[in-house]
Amino acid sequence: MKNRFIKILAVLIAVLTLLPMAVMAEPYQTYTYSIDGEQLASPHAYTPNVVLDSSDMGLPVPLKKVADMVVDDNGNVYLADKDANAIYVLDANLKYRFTIDTFINSNGIEDSFNNPNGCFVTKRNIYVADTDNKRIVIFDLDGNYVRHLEEPKSDIFEDNTKYRPTAIAVDASDRIYVVSPDIYQGILSLDANGEFRGYVGAQKVSYNAWEIFWRTFQTAKQRSKGKKNLSTSYNNITIDDEGFIYCTTTGLKADDQQAAITNKKGDYSPIKKFNAAGKDILGRNGFFGPGGEVKIAGGGLSNKPSRIIDVALGPSGSWSIIDADRSKIFTYDQYGNLLFVFGDRGDLLGNISEMATAIAYQGTNFLVFDGLLQTITLYTRTEYGDVLIRALQNEIDRKHGEAVNDYQDILKRNSNFDAAYIGIGKALYRQGKYEEAMKMFASAYETENYSKALKELRQNWADKYFILIPIVVVAFLFVVVKFFGYAGKINKKTALKKGQKTFKEEILYAFHLIFHPFDGFWDLKHEKRGSVRGAIFWLVLALVAICYQSVGRAYVFNPRASYTSMFGSLLSILVPVALWVIGNWCLTTLFDGEGSIKDIFVATCYCAVPLVLLIIPATAITNILTLSEATIYEMLVSIAWVWVGLLLFFGTMVTHDYPIGKNVLTCIGTILAMAVIMFCVILFSTLIMKIISFIAGIVVELSYR
């Protein structure tokens, strides 16, 4: 009998171990960074061309402290020098045209700026944020004064509201959007006459765990008198041709900002895109959400999130942000996929000496302003950048065939460019080549589009085998019903049998126990319907189920192929079972428990049956489920673990003959006992390691002497 048991167990393990190979999709191609064994760097989309200072631009006086830089449709560049109280205008060749510093206002009085921090240029006018004069001054494109807009008034403004416009944007209908650093309710929306129309896009207030806990015990009066947590205000703004507003912000909590980037959420993102209703619609479909540096660790700048201070809109739906601390420019497409990163701090050409303060696109050029040296670094778009922008534009124009050619050209230069794989995958998807599209999406970890292609492939397969599918389903249900009926007959027959039960009877008894836990656990203990060998059998199958779950999930549910090692999977079941058995036995021995350590072990292992019945099929069906159907898999796994928990509860109750109240306390006490045992084991292990290290040190010291 013992040899037969070992053979059956070996066959089951072999079958379930090989099962992932039968149901998992074909491994997908992985792309390397090298050609002919040579490691290659990603090509640059922009390359530094020249650095220009005040004399190179032909300015009449040196720049003092430029706070903003914008470019109009003709390539003219506008510099807002806050310390010089002037707006300098350059032509498309970055040569000086004229200065706006003094003007005759609408009252016929000579006027000037006071700390102008921002400007914006439309097809007709130049708008200047005259910060400390609390107004917006409007000029024509030749620098002639048109009018100015005084501080807006509204009943909804708080009494201590300070209006200090530092950045502005104007849409095609002359609606004006103003950033004021002291106003936390959001961006101010003004009409063409400067009348206040409302707030747009207030930042979400951030609370830590302690503040949330403490506020639950406070009255409304106490909360009103306490310190207020206010939204973080924005620091810069721009607007595209369709009226969508791009905003940047600093001052967010580091943990909140990094979580927003990692989880691709918009609540605490340093960059947002608002529609007219004030809803954030920024695409965050990349590997990580847009916002600069993804991983922060170590010392210095590397342990701080990116400080985003400006955003610039580029061609073909692309847009860029700048990390002021690192002087790096991050560029994304309209969907939030990272396209490229360039720039750095340093003294070499193309680097920024201390801090970049403003960025702007000028046709195929890219301008970066150095806040320390007061210089402009001009970057020129490379051939690689031209191909990339052309591919983005072809996608927008729905020229998918041409876009594929461009993306294939890009992959020859940069085999790790995710957007190219996604672009090719989309084109293949539209051509009905779903399997090829899935391989491309898998190369870029694009699970959403991969799931869409899988759905279409599944539909084609279902149309092809529409007669076979119901036959297979009915046959499967027939087998399941027959098996449970057979197990029920065996269990009824065994209930009248006296003496030792066979191994088959002990195993099949589990199918009665999981549906009838009260009499099931009673008979398991008193009628000897189960045994240690039966318990070990189900424990081993539970281990196989957990190992299979780790390696058998389909690509959609495990895109990065993050598998737990076999050893780790075994420990994830064996350690909790051992701790539960030992902790429960130690506790119930002190509180009149009627179960022995053997009874506890057998009952605990039989509780693992739902893991075998649900996790194995749930993992297998991931190969035909799409991303939108992930709740089916999650539901089956959750049911399995909840079922195990309930069986453990009722098993403890019946095994020790406890009333329900005492059983609740016993289960809680067992969990605490498990924690104490783990603490003691870790403490003892640490102590042993220190003793070994001490002895080893003495031996080494003696060997030297």
Q: Which amino acid is at 79?
A: L
- Mark whether 454 and 522 lie in a shared domain: no
- pLDDT above 60 (res 5): no
**Counted domains in the chain:** 3
| In a domain? residue 444 | yes
From 317, 350, 381, give the residue that closes a domain: 381
Residue 246 has pLDDT above 80, yes or no: yes
Is the pLDDT assigned to residue 2 strictly greater than 70?
A: no
Residues 55, 18 within the same domain: no
Residue 126 belongs to a domain: yes
Answer with the one of 327, 359, 381 that is the final residue of a domain.
381
Please check the confidence at residue 445 and state whether its pLDDT lies above 50: yes
Q: What are the DSSP E strand ranges found in 280-421?
A: 308-313, 319-323, 328-332, 338-342, 356-362, 365-370, 375-381
108 and 122 assigned to the same domain: yes
In the chain, what percentage of residues exceed pLDDT 90?
A: 49
Mean pLDDT of the chain: 85
pLDDT at 205: 63
Q: Is the pLDDT of residue 378 over 50?
A: yes
Determine the pLDDT at residue 129: 96
Q: Is residue 543 a part of any domain in this protein?
A: yes
**Are 209 and 300 members of one domain?**
yes
Encode pLDDT of 464-494 as tens digits.
Answer: 888 888 888 899 899 989 998 998 898 888 8
- Domain edge (last residue) among 324, 353, 381: 381
- Does 314 map to a domain? yes
CATH of the domain at 114: 2.120.10.30
CA distance 676 to 691: 22
DSSP strand E in 62-141: where? 66-71, 77-81, 86-90, 96-100, 102-104, 110-112, 116-121, 125-130, 135-140
| Contact yes or no for 187/236 (Cβ under 8 A) | no
Question: Residues 124, 183: one domain?
Answer: yes
Structural domain harbouring 426: 34-43+392-464
Instruction: Name which residue leads in pLDDT, 2 or 383.
Output: 383
pLDDT of residue 221: 57
**What span, in angstroms and rounded, lies between the C-alpha atoms of 147 and 127?**
10
Q: What is the rounded average pLDDT of the residues 380-390? A: 93
CATH number at residue 424: 1.25.40.10
Does one domain contain both 509 and 448? no
Domain assignment of residue 448, yes or no: yes
Same-domain status, 507 and 618: yes
Is residue 471, in this structure, part of any structural domain at all? no
Q: Answer whether residue 398 is part of any domain.
A: yes
pLDDT digits (tens, 9 = 90+) for 535-592: 999 999 999 999 999 888 988 888 877 777 778 888 888 999 999 999 999 889 888 8
Q: pLDDT of 258-298, one tens digit each?
A: 888 888 888 888 999 998 888 999 988 877 889 888 876 65
Tell me: do 417 and 507 sit in the same domain: no
- Min mean pLDDT across 170-174, 297-301, 679-683 is at 297-301
Q: How far apart are CA 81 and CA 69, in angstroms?
A: 9
Residue with tokens 């020098």: 81
* Confidence at 6, pLDDT banded by 50, 70, 90: very low
Same domain flag for 236 and 349: yes
Q: 188 pLDDT band (50/70/90 cuts)?
A: very high
Whether residue 373 sits in one domain with residue 397:
no
In this structure, the answer to whether residues 265 and 330 fall within a common structural domain is yes
pLDDT in tens, 325-343: 888 899 999 988 889 888 8
Instruction: Please tell me whether residues 443 and 503 are part of one structural domain.
Output: no
Query: Do the domain assignments include residue 209?
Result: yes
pTM: 0.73
* Res. 248 pLDDT band, cuts 50 70 90: very high
